[in-house]
Amino acid sequence: METSASLELAKHTLLIFGIILALGAFSGLVARLAKVPDVVVFLLVGMLIGPGILGWVNIKADSTINQLILIFGSSYILFDGGASIRLKVLKEVWITIVVIATIGVLITGAITGMAAYYFLGVPVMVALLLGATLASTDPATLVPVFKQVKIKERVAQTVMSESAFNDAMGAILTFTVLGVAMGAGEFSASDALVDLLKQSVIGILIGGILGYLAAVFIAHEKYNFLAEFAPVVTLMAVIGAYMAADGFHASGFMAVFVFGIMLGNVESLGFKRSSEESHTLEDFVLTTSLIMRMFIFILLGAQVDFALMNQYLWAGIAVVVVFMLVARPVTVFLCALPDRRAKWSFKEMLFMCWTRETGVIPGALAGMLVGMNAPGAQIIASVTFIAILMTIIIQATTTKWLAKKLDLLEEE
């Protein structure tokens, strides 16, 4: 009887996967015809087929399947983003990336928290907890958008790099505030800084070491015995980088991002790949990333809790408007303007103010807070869903239009 139940569950899961792939392929076509980033259409389709409307897909946010898709999918998309980063660009803008991914997260969290305190009427600690949850940007959303909308190199790579590096800071800030809110401790700036440095350095080291080893085995003139298995190596190493960093209590996302940077810059490391091998690997990575985007955003849409959102709809919208139009611009100008090395123009900073979609990472943090019965967790989850919908639907769809207006589009 147990075997039969397991078999039925497997068949049901397989059916759901088939539905997601079929609708994902159709959604991708619609997105191309509409000339909008595909993550927007995936999210809307997910909302349509979720329990709130058609009920075709009902995978719980805390289920093993969903967590597996989130972890691996986000990691692989982030690896893909890292592979498109060029080291020469990072050398020019690294100061902005470091400042905006650390101090910037604190600024965004504080301003958003003040808005939550005013509009939602919640206690100060709950308001700050909401601000911390929303403070980090989402690489799983931003990387695909910049893959489809060709923005000038240094702007696109700065925003993608920030989204990769600030997830650790966002998580640290969230759980530090949670500890204070639940009476488990007091905020310590020095402890938070040490924790952030530890997570960052270990993540960078693990990603760098594994990325270099992968480059050796794929592209070294003498030791490239895994060249024909390069796609499999990327799968294995992405999993290995994330799990190794997680085992050391470091940022797994940072590790896979740095791994991607190493593998995407093999020529800078002194290695060479044939044109055919490069195209084969690139095609595999693009296809795998597309499938991961389908699953992540269709499932994310399917898990939107409309009843919960309606409870705090208008106040939540007000908080997200402040979050988008006040917190982000203040953060960008305070963090990027002093960087005399990068010499950001007003148009570049204005564009960075608009590109900070909220998605998988804040959604996962909100889900964890609900599971831990954190103070105000239901309100935080509600406003997080509103932020995800508003930023992805509004900001992602207007990215290309704004870039064109600001003359930041690369020539096709």
For the cut 90, the answer to whether the pLDDT of residue 349 exceeds it is: yes
Q: How confident is the model at residue 370 (pLDDT cuts 50, 70, 90)?
A: confident
For 302, counting Cβ atoms within 10 Å of its Cβ (0-12 exposed, 13-18 middle, 19+ buried), the class is buried
Let me know whether 53 and 163 are in one domain: no
DSSP string, 300-337: HHHT--HHHHHHTHHHHHHHHHHIIIIIHHHHHHHHHT
The answer to whether the CB of 139 falls within 8 A of the CB of 167 is yes
- Point out which residues pair with 409 in neighbouring strands: 151
Per-residue pLDDT at 118: 93
Summarize pLDDT for 15-32 with one digit per residue, the tens.
Answer: 999 999 999 999 989 988
The mean of the pLDDT values for the chain is 84
Per-residue pLDDT at 216: 85
Domain-embedded: residue 411: no
Task: Give residue 88's identity as a one-letter amino acid code.
Answer: K
Residue 71: HSE in the Cβ half-sphere, 13 Å Cα cutoff: 17
pTM: 0.80
Let me know whether 22 and 112 are in one domain: no
Domain end point (choices 60, 84, 100): 60
Q: In total, how many domains does the chain have?
A: 2
Residue 34: HSE in the Cβ half-sphere, 13 Å Cα cutoff: 15
Q: Report angle CA 291, 296, 301 to the nearest 5 degrees.
A: 125
Let me know whether 328 and 400 are in one domain: yes
Per-residue pLDDT at 119: 94
Let me know whether 193 and 94 are in one domain: yes
Per-residue pLDDT at 1: 47
Summarize pLDDT for 225-258 with one digit per residue, the tens.
Answer: 777 788 888 888 889 999 998 888 887 878 888 8
Return the structure tokens found at 320: 């997200």
Domain-embedded: residue 412: no
For the cut 60, the answer to whether the pLDDT of residue 184 exceeds it is: no
Domain end point (choices 44, 60, 76): 60
Domain end point (choices 37, 60, 83): 60
Let me know whether 163 and 101 are in one domain: yes
Q: How confident is the model at residue 39 (pLDDT cuts 50, 70, 90)?
A: confident
In angstroms, the Cα distances linking 193 to 30, 172, 197 are 45, 9, 6
Q: What does the pLDDT average to over 349-354?
A: 92
For the cut 80, the answer to whether the pLDDT of residue 221 exceeds it is: no
Let me know whether 26 and 153 are in one domain: no
Q: How confident is the model at residue 113 (pLDDT cuts 50, 70, 90)?
A: very high
What is the domain range of residue 255? 68-405
Q: In this structure, what are the phi and psi dihedrals at residue 409, rounded to the nearest 5 degrees?
A: -80, 140
Domain-embedded: residue 198: yes
